[in-house]
Structure 1
Amino acid sequence: MSLIVTPFGPRSTAMEVVAGVDLSGRAAIVTGASSGIGLETVRALATTGARVVLAVRDVEAGGRAAEEIAASVEGACLEVRELDLADVRSVDRFVAGWDGPLRLLVNNAGVMESPLRRTPQGWELQFATNHLGHFALAVGLHDALAADGAARIVSLSSSGHGASPVHFEDLFFERRPYDPSLAYGQSKTANVLFAVEASRRWAPDGIAANAVMPGGIWTRLQRHWGEERLRATRAAVAADGIAVKSPQQGAATSVLVATSPLLEGIGGRYFEDCREADRVAAITDGLHGVRDYALDPAAARQLWDHALDLLGAARRAG
């Protein structure tokens, strides 16, 4: 099976890849939409005529983002709704409040390499937010996505998935020492596995799901690194000549996978730099390629069933 390429590349912007796309009358949801890549994803989708919902934990920040986008995109149709992906009850409230078909679900929000924190269910925060919250959201919105007839889900992963497969025997670091990088890595692997299994299960419903790697971008995602590590990393990136993307360029792959006619009916794949990524044995440059374990259909099925069990237990416990 040949890899998918497009006319766009690593320096393309979200506005460039969405030019000419018409989503008038369609609905889209972008999580984590108040800053960075999420904000630029909303801005680009707003130009298509879609009604875009900014699903955010901080409603005030989401409101400021919506006002800023509305000032730059004439006729933008925007709405801000509260969503805390680490809280199953918040996800369920969001789903219960949704009405009508849904064309696009962009699972953009994320936490990276945070100190060890646990949800009330005892779930490690990165896995709970990056995967389980988005999983609950997508499953809850399945009927709305199916009602559209040509819906797409974009699951934001990262080259950080190369740090770890999903460790089903100890998802939440209850027996092994907590490592922020490994925790982030397995959550990003889970984002890819979700796209693989969602596409397998939901393709008959007209739903396609793919995972994307935005690229190397400086955003609030690195806020847990600390000043010393951030300075050292910036210096190393500059010394190595690595091209850092702007948020507008970082949003391009998400927007392309969400909207491009070239990708109609395509699902279960991992994209970077506006093309399908190569499978690699290791992500040697820290940015490019997808590991085989992230696309493993057996692991994808296992993760899906395990996530359903975890969410079911959480809801029964109240």
Structure 2
Amino acid sequence: MIEGCELVRTGRWSVETNTGVTNRQYSALSDTPYPIDLDSIRGAFPPGIEAPPLLVDFADWLNGRPWGSVGRFSLQGQFSDHAPIVDGSPLRDRFSLFMRLPDGSAVGGWYGAGLDRDNPPIVGLGSEGDYELLAPSLDGLLAKLTSQQFGNAWSDLLPHDEVECQTVELARWLAGRPAGEPMAPDDASLELPDFRGFVEKWSRDREDYWANHRLMAELGWRLAAHLPKGKKPWDKTNFEVAISGAQYQARVLTRGPQPFEEASSIESLLRDLREEMRRAQPELGLWYAMSFGLYADGRVMPNFEYDLRPTIDGEPALLSEAKADLVRAPRPERWVPKWLAAS
């Protein structure tokens, strides 16, 4: 494989074709542009905060360039709900995740307590539990892309060995940016909070919260007949729930989704949970789907889906019912899912 930007920039590709990478493979990678979705990026920022011009202009600069030429990622927004963090829905207003890596990791701004909301530090939420403050600012992240200053855990932010490297071009573009933009603070003089410590504490607290939640405890008691037969800590029985207005469905995942006897008796419990969560964080609105695991010790650990249109009795939930939920529990415009906003 080709190694290092300088080798590719000199045009000596033919010298390296015997390393196992064919000209055809190189051409295929070079023909694959970066996936870019500016609408999803803008929507991923907390309400009241807009995507910075530097990020929008970087997307424009990157548009059409070969995937991997400055790093192996896509510029696509996502909520913390779908990032590798425990119970991420309540953290939507703490992150602006604008970059996705092939392994499922996410990169974006972190709006922690006391941090600059106009120029937040950039963090990585790693799919393998690597939580790292990657740069003190967006400008700092782009500068690190040009200098390739990323360790093994974040190697996807390095250029692909089999694509012509364009980090020098990125450095020139950054140098030509207009004066007056927020610049990367001096790392040596800046005291930034412990991001890994924040995520680890959040994860512990949320696991404890749900393990001791009164409605989760009652749900576990009512479903005791479905406790997993194994006694290992990770043994669990999985369930899925869909609620949209007056519509409701619950299934146990045993050789595929299956109805179960207790489904009707737990409906009121799940609706109470839904209302309680809406009152606690009204800007999120009402979730439409929920999955949870029932563990051998009776604990219930849930996961909530606020954006996916649920399927009930094999059909997409009625839009009229979903819209009724939205009217009753409105959300910021950018947090309304497209399938519902367009109806």
TM superposition score normalised by structure 1 = 0.28
More helix by share: 1
TM superposition score normalised by structure 2 = 0.26
Q: Which has the higher contact order (CA 8 A, sep 6+)?
A: 1
